[in-house]
Amino acid sequence: MTFDQLQPVAVGDFTFDVRTLGPDDGDPVVLLHGFPETSLSWSAVAPVLADAGYRVIAVDQRGYSPEARPTAVADYAMDLLVGDVLGLADALDLDTFHLVGHDWGAAVGWAVAAHHGDRLRTLTAVSVPHLAAYNAALSGNSDQQQRSSYIGLMRQEGKAEDVLAEDDGRRLRAMYQRRIPATHVDAYADFFHERAALSGALSWYRAMTAALADTPSVSVPTTFVWSDDDLAIGRASAEACGDHVTGPFEFVELAGISHWIPEEAPADLAAAILERARG
């Protein structure tokens, strides 16, 4: 099976679409995508990890997989998103695994590491720092407040869907800043053209609560990868990330790269993942 093919994995009442690559007996690496993307975002990173001998598992998360798309916002609470990751690992017989997450996938990764660190070998978080660092900056840093202002729209049920879908998804396409392959932009636009998929993805924003600011520090060996041309995440929260990691930690800064690190700088990201996994 190639990485382009989706295969179903049953987790409780849901079935998730999963892409895999690499040897079955390789150390497992689970990849969590962000918004507005899917597991396709890892298509340039996965082969590098697989060639290095790792078993790569990239999942379309809750709200993205059609058979894992509840309609209630409450069904997108962080503890349920964390449970999906652990349930997927259990379904695939993974006692422990390396975890990599970008954007919202990074947020889930931090929560898994904070509450279930015994299941992780390492964590590589991409773009989004530890949630306590992010929320501290959001509370007291005007730069981060401005960068995060778009979240207000995302939390408005119906209006956000209308804005992102209008004019053949013009606003949605603009979010990628012409920094990722056009084929991926078209694939994402087609994917989110289905309103149920777009609403499922936006439910992650609508289920956010103040409790995310209280995410405990993590002791898992961790690398945080941030890019200085990220429009959504500023330097204040990025540089404070390490204050919330008690185990081995490395901060990797990529110059001139946008928020879309997995697709714009896959070689650099894969190198950071492999250095952490091997370390």
Q: Does the active-site annotation cover 259?
A: yes
**Tens digits of residue pLDDT in 232-266:** 999 999 999 999 999 999 999 999 999 999 999 99
CATH number of the domain where residue 263 is located: 3.40.50.1820
Question: Is residue 103 annotated as a catalytic residue, yes or no?
Answer: yes
Cα separation, 194 vs 201, whole angstroms: 11
Q: Is 17 within a domain?
A: yes
For the chain, count helices (H), then strands (E).
Answer: 12, 8
Q: Is residue 142 within 8 Å of 134, Cβ to Cβ?
A: no
Q: What does the alpha-carbon distance between residue 170 and residue 163 come to, in Å, rounded to a whole number?
A: 9
Q: Choosing from 103, 134, 176, 244, which is the catalytic residue?
A: 103
Q: Which of 84, 188, 205, 244 is catalytic?
A: 205
Q: 154 pLDDT exceeds 70?
A: yes
Question: How many domains are contained in the chain?
Answer: 1
Contact call for residues 76 and 203 (beta carbons, < 8 A): yes
Residue 1 reports pLDDT greater than 80: no
Give me the residue label for tokens 């259990």. 90
Structure tokens at 217: 């520090």
User: Residue 206 and residue 136: Cα distance in Å, rounded?
Assistant: 20
Percent pLDDT > 70 in the chain is 100
Determine which one of 33, 130, 184, 259 is catalytic: 259
How large is the average pLDDT for residues 68-79? 98
Catalytic site includes residue 17: no
Output Rg (C-alpha) for the chain, integer angstroms. Answer: 17
pTM above 0.95, yes or no: yes
18-69 tens-digit pLDDT? 999 999 999 999 999 999 999 999 999 999 999 999 999 999 999 999 999 9
- Report if residue 1 sits inside a domain: no
Structural domain includes residue 2: no
Write out the residue range of the structural domain in which residue 125 sits.
7-278
For residue 204, is it within any domain? yes
- CA max distance for the chain: 48
Terminus-to-terminus CA distance in the chain, angstroms?
Answer: 29
Side chain identity at residue 132, one-letter code: A
The answer to the question of residue 41 being in a domain is yes
Q: How far apart are CA 72 and CA 277, in angstroms?
A: 37
State mean pLDDT over 90-99: 98
